[in-house]
Structure 1
Amino acid sequence: MTPRTDPPEKTRDIVEIRVRARETLDQLRTELISQRGEDDHWTGQLSASALSTATAVSAIAAVMRHQSGEDWMRELVRRGMQYLCGEQNQDGGFGDTDRSHSNIATSYLVLAADSLARQVLGDSAGLHADQRDDLQRYLRDAGEIAGLKARYGKDKTFVVPILTNMAIAGLVDWKLVSALPFEAAVFPQSWYRFLRMPVVSYAIPALVAIGQARHFLGPRSWFPIRAMRSASVSRTMAVLERMQPESGGYLEATPLTSFVLMSLAATGRGDHPVALNALRFLQDSVAEDGSWPIDTNLATWVTSLSVHALACDPLDDGSWFSQSLLRWHLDCQHRVRHPFTGASPGGWGWTDLSGAVPDGDDTPGAILALRVMKRWSDTSHHAQIDSAIAMGSRWLLQLQNGDGGWPTFCRGWGKLPFDRSSTDLTAHAIRALSDQNHQFDGPIRKGQRYLDRMQQPDGAWLPLWFGNQDQSDEINPVYGTAKVLLSGAASPEKLHLGVKFLLETQNGDGGWGGGVSVSEKLRVLLKERPEFSELQIPDHLTSSVEETALAVDALCSVVLHRRDASEHAFVGQMAVDCDSRAVQASRSGVTSPEVESAAVLQQHRQLGGYDETDSLTAAIIGGVEFLLQSVRDGRHRIAWPIGFYFAKLWYHEKSYPLIFTVAALGKFLRATTDEHDPQWPR
């Protein structure tokens, strides 16, 4: 990140920016609402994934190698390899998406897919010889197997499946594949967190299938252990069958489902019902270009985000609302104990599909969306909405960890990173539990203390499920800090430090996040993809639309939270006269005396050497200007890979930049008006 070095200006002409922001927001609202589908909800579009495609190709090829494959299977392998041939980066490696840096995990998975595809279809089906040479060179430079293990440390959730895939392809000896205690899956789910599993809570299907493959094909273990594991095969297969959803895809995730399928196929069980259902899932979820996404979709998540973003607009009239949307959102709530994690009823997952699992991020998002929809729904539905919110809130309370934070799926699994409490989920949960007649004040205070403890020395908070590929540690402090500031949940001193962090890390182009890869990757897209031919890329572009919108949203929320705390103390901050008549007059070109005389009122609040109000104003305006220019350039239609899926698998979601920008511009219009609405969407 390139810090801004220019001193903050004391005054800005916010009025003109507000007019442009209003016009742009109207345009973006139309775009966002037009993307709804059946039942008036949003589905979004996840990026194609070289990683997912490689695992799917390997799984289907593994089935074909052990039994005669049908024509459609051969076609899927062939098309999948064609897609992969077009995704190699200049350094010879492969990244998770078409906008991602190469990484050793995806590169090894492509190598394994290439080997298996050539085994079942011949050399012409794999990578070109020079591509294979470049890939091998990249892997050597990345440290080979030692480099792979270093990427994941003690977490075996992904490194063992990758090595299993390579062993199935004949690229490594089974001795390199760690044995997994799949027999532990016979215990009740409530015991799993006490057994110190070597994989995260959501990877039990991989633990079972891969553990069995290693048991059958790897070195023989000590006889008592071997006998115990042999005796548990049928019982753990029953667990695998019970966890498999109707769609056949575990978590609706291509990699996890593929690892299960290839492990069963490699042990001669490609005709087992679990394998056949997994194969059906891969057939159903392949894209037209022969690729697979990391997951089928994030429909519940992007719908919750879209509803909340539209409500951020101070002129939102609820025209997007429908009873079918409300029914769909209510129907996404899980009403029975979940077979995958054993979660109690009440939570929401990321999609309405059968493979979704209730979690600690989608549940708060759904609750916040239902609060918004309640404003526009018929009063006859209010009791049902209140019941769903209460049920979801109780579910969140049961999920809270002893450290005060919220994890993703299961309480108490604190051994591995993706099972621990996280700041982004904790902030989201606090937002959902707030404003409920103070009945959750105790858990909220525990969450606030957790957030205070987790703040970094530089004032940032680090998230779990989002990253920045240009950061050396791949962590995204802008996202994490923005989510905590949005919640207003930490102590005032900590929130001030969080604001200071965002002010100091704003890039020279006015935005946040991103890095050197933004302009590089966008210029490649401009050259290679006809649909992006009209894209405008400014010189020295650094920031991403998503991270900038999140930062603007968060900083504007800081202003609104302060007004909540003391309207008299902060009512003038960044204020201009923005009643509806003035906005309409500005749109029509008629200038009112109120608009002409509006100016930013100066308040002096020292924070780490800054006149905070002036700095905050300048930062917000710089971010808004970046967003307005991004929309003019068409860059709000190009998603950036900031999303983490399980085990640091990168993705981008087409709707993120649009949704986040709608929310940011709406908050900006709310934060720059004298009229403070205490019911603003939190």
Structure 2
Amino acid sequence: MTADALLEQLRSRLLAERLNGHWIGGLASSALSTAVAVVALHRAGNLCDREAVLSGLHWLAEHQNPDGSWGDTVISIGNISTTVLAWAACGYAGRTDADARAAEVRAAAWITTRAGGLEPQQLVTAIEQRYGDDRTFAVPILTLCAIAGRLGRDPWRWVRPLPFEFAAFPRAWFRFLDLQVVSYALPALIAVGQVRFHRRTPRNPFAFLVRWLTRPRTLRRLRGIQPSSGGYLEAVPLTGFVVMSLVDGGNASHQVTEKGLAFLRHSRRADGSWPIDENLATWVTTLSVNALAAGGPVSSQMEAAERERVLRWLLDQQGKRVHPYTGAAPGAWAWTDLPGGVPDADDTAGALIALHHLAPERDEVRRAAEAGLAWLCGVQNRDGGIPTFCRGWGALEFDRSAPDLTAHALLAFHHWRPLLRGVLASQIDRAQKKALRYLHRSQRTDGSWVPLWFGNQHVDGDRNPTYATARVVSALALAEPTGEARRRGEAWLVSNQRLDGGWGGGGASPASIEETGLALEALAQSIAISASVVERGLAALQRLTNAGTTLTPAPIGFYFAKLWYFERLYPFIFATAAAGRIVARASRP
């Protein structure tokens, strides 16, 4: 099969995935989300939710790994966090259900092997070791365990207090306070912190008074940042943790609780499971447009009316006002079109690149792009890197600058810079230089980079250097084509090509469509890469996709704090981009 034939097959498959003119995709069902939702609904105690609780328990029992564990997706390796949550849910909400009890017993054996036992100290140690200093997930997980009766006779002594009183301060102060959670976890800070205070008040009278006095104000802030859908970030885990904490803290009838419960009910799937998030529609739409552009002008692949439809949809998703959740300035994009989405750098960069591929000459598009570019410049950290949501939150990993985000922003800057004049053009010039310096500094000694939002369960530390290295190399192909950093990154990708021609997350990890596509897209842009490397990669891509007819996703996505997911469209997108680059390479003189 030729590269042209593969590209045509993949392109037609990708275009066929549109719904109402744009792409929506499909996120994996999540055992972690399902366990959290089950406990939240069960703790709320509404009879109308009993069927949802039971169907969630049955889904968990049916999708338990043979060894008794659960991974975050149905094709993920088991991990301690998800297994403990599902084990707690089965024991708490499934006491009268035979399937849930049997799953609980199998899980207990697995946990005992991994954590050394089921005693509170053993569970706490195992959970906290997974997340280190970041309490964003560790404290909510242990809160669920306390609510579910898994932490002994005095359960709340094992749950660390969170300083929810800090949420009463102006948002501009947050970066200077030790919140102990990442920037996007403010709802968990408030709700989980308050239930811990309610259940185990501090002995220090000053701490008690401060927290008591700030409870009403922080609850008002929690209500103020809740989207109309009821789901914080449109995320089931975060919303579920908030709901169960409010109920257990004496706020069962609070407006936030009721809206959160409505969101959980609405988010449940027909098979009884819950995903981690409603959708990544904006993200996969921009990735899809940009993947098509890898093989030639989008105008040659989509009719004018189709391009106009997706263009209008993307313009409609741009933030037009200060965002209540993070205080983000207007001009950016979130990952979803739903009200719980929050503006972020990766989606803004993707949208800017897509707009450039669709209609860069139009005034309204240029105005939107200028606002987005200014927003990206505004979040750039002093180290030159780009963080996800907010500038200056560098204490915890998921708030720091990241190579994958920085490379994406660099591409957006490069595409739009020739069309800019004046102050913004100067800003972009400075931002590009700073971003390049950051990428040079963050390159590892072996030539690779490590991403923030993607991983690989078969690589040490759950890292995915293939993803980040491919993304950075692709950006450097335009921004610094003759640089040493690009050459070293390409050399790392070539050295990590498997004997079968494909790529995994690095080393001997199994090849996937996504990682093979990403590596090929990056390498096919370089004349320094031998034809044999590309040809072997193309053969692997043809084999992995069954000539473009079978596009099975791999769980390489991270959704906050090492919560794995797969997205059904990722193999479509990354394979299409790779095939497009290979065809374009062959047509070069």
TM range (shorter): over 0.9
TM-aligned CA deviation for residue 324 of structure 1? 2.2
Pairing partner for 2:106 from 127, 134, 137: 134
Pairing partner for 1:510 from 493, 501, 519: 501
TM-aligned CA deviation for residue 53 of structure 1? 0.4
Give the letter for the 1:477 counterpart.
P
Do structure 1's residue 462 and structure 2's residue 430 form an aligned pair?
no
Distance 1:61 1:633 in 2: 47
Give the letter for the 1:293 counterpart.
P
Q: Which is further off, 545-554 or 90-99?
A: 90-99
Pairing partner for 1:196 from 178, 183, 198: 178
State the match for 1:588 in structure 2: none
State the match for 1:647 in structure 2: 561
State the match for 1:447 in structure 2: 435
Pairing partner for 2:513 from 545, 548, 553: 545
State the match for 2:410 in structure 1: 430
State the match for 2:302 in structure 1: 319
- RMSD between aligned alpha carbons? 1.7
Distance 1:27 1:107 in 2: 40
Give the letter for the 1:513 counterpart.
G
Distance 1:141 1:486 in 2: 43
Q: Secondary structure at the match of 1:499?
A: helix
TM-aligned CA deviation for residue 442 of structure 1? 1.1
Distance 1:99 1:516 in 2: 20
TM-aligned CA deviation for residue 108 of structure 1? 0.9
Note if contact 2:518-2:578 (Cα within 8 Å) is conserved in structure 1.
yes
Per-residue CA deviations over 1:485-518 (Å, capped at 9, x if unaligned) read 0101467111111111011111111000158998
Per-residue CA deviations over 1:412-450 (Å, capped at 9, x if unaligned) read 000000000000000000110114135411111111000
Give the letter for the 2:24 counterpart.
T
State the match for 1:605 in structure 2: none
Distance 2:551 2:269 in 1: 20
Distance 1:515 1:107 in 2: 26
Distance 1:315 1:413 in 2: 38
State the match for 1:597 in structure 2: none
Give the letter for the 1:333 counterpart.
Q
State the match for 2:276 in structure 1: 294
State the match for 1:92 in structure 2: 68
Per-residue CA deviations over 1:350-408 (Å, capped at 9, x if unaligned) read 00000000001000000000011106xxx7xx111000000000000000000000000
Distance 2:30 2:495 in 1: 34
State the match for 1:522 in structure 2: none
Give the letter for the 1:365 counterpart.
G
Normalised to the residue count of structure 2, the TM-score between the two structures is 0.93
State the match for 1:148 in structure 2: 127
- After TM superposition, what 4+ stretches of structure 1 lie above 6 angstroms from structure 2? 515-518
Please tell me whether Structure 1 or Structure 2 has the larger radius of gyration of its CA atoms.
1
Distance 1:419 1:123 in 2: 42
Higher relative contact order (CA 8 A, sep 6+): 1
Distance 2:392 2:297 in 1: 43
Distance 2:278 2:488 in 1: 39
Note if contact 1:81-1:125 (Cα within 8 Å) is conserved in structure 2.
no
Give the letter for the 1:246 counterpart.
S
Pair 1:481–1:674, CA change in 2 (3 A)? same
Per-residue CA deviations over 1:127-149 (Å, capped at 9, x if unaligned) read 233x3222112112222331211
Pairing partner for 1:246 from 228, 253, 266: 228
State the match for 2:96 in structure 1: 123
State the match for 1:624 in structure 2: 538
Pairing partner for 2:575 from 661, 664, 676: 661
User: Number of aligned pairs?
Assistant: 565
Structure 1 residues 219-230: aligned runs within 5 Å: 219-230=201-212
Q: Percent identity?
A: 45
Distance 2:547 2:179 in 1: 49
Pairing partner for 1:231 from 204, 213, 217: 213
Do structure 1's residue 52 and structure 2's residue 39 form an aligned pair?
no
For structure 1, which runs of at least 5 residues remain unmatched after alignment? Answer: 1-16, 519-541, 560-572, 574-611, 676-682
Do structure 1's residue 333 and structure 2's residue 318 form an aligned pair?
yes
Distance 1:174 1:422 in 2: 35
Q: Secondary structure at the match of 2:345?
A: coil
Note if contact 2:91-2:104 (Cα within 8 Å) is conserved in structure 1.
no
Note if contact 2:463-2:505 (Cα within 8 Å) is conserved in structure 1.
no
Per-residue CA deviations over 1:127-172 (Å, capped at 9, x if unaligned) read 233x322211211222233121111111100000000000011111
Normalised to the residue count of structure 1, the TM-score between the two structures is 0.81
Distance 1:243 1:401 in 2: 25
State the match for 2:52 in structure 1: 76
Pair 1:191–1:125, CA change in 2 (3 A)? farther
Distance 1:147 1:166 in 2: 13
Distance 2:71 2:6 in 1: 34
State the match for 1:42 in structure 2: 23
Note if contact 1:515-1:543 (Cα within 8 Å) is conserved in structure 2.
no
Note if contact 1:248-1:278 (Cα within 8 Å) is conserved in structure 2.
yes
Pairing partner for 1:399 from 379, 399, 402: 379
Note if contact 1:47-1:652 (Cα within 8 Å) is conserved in structure 2.
yes
State the match for 2:468 in structure 1: 480
Pairing partner for 1:167 from 134, 146, 166: 146
Give the letter for the 2:176 counterpart.
F
Per-residue CA deviations over 1:535-562 (Å, capped at 9, x if unaligned) read xxxxxxx3000000000001123x2xxx
Note if contact 2:496-2:507 (Cα within 8 Å) is conserved in structure 1.
no
Distance 1:389 1:116 in 2: 50
For structure 2, which runs of at least 5 residues remain unmatched after alignment? Answer: 116-122, 419-424
State the match for 2:492 in structure 1: 501
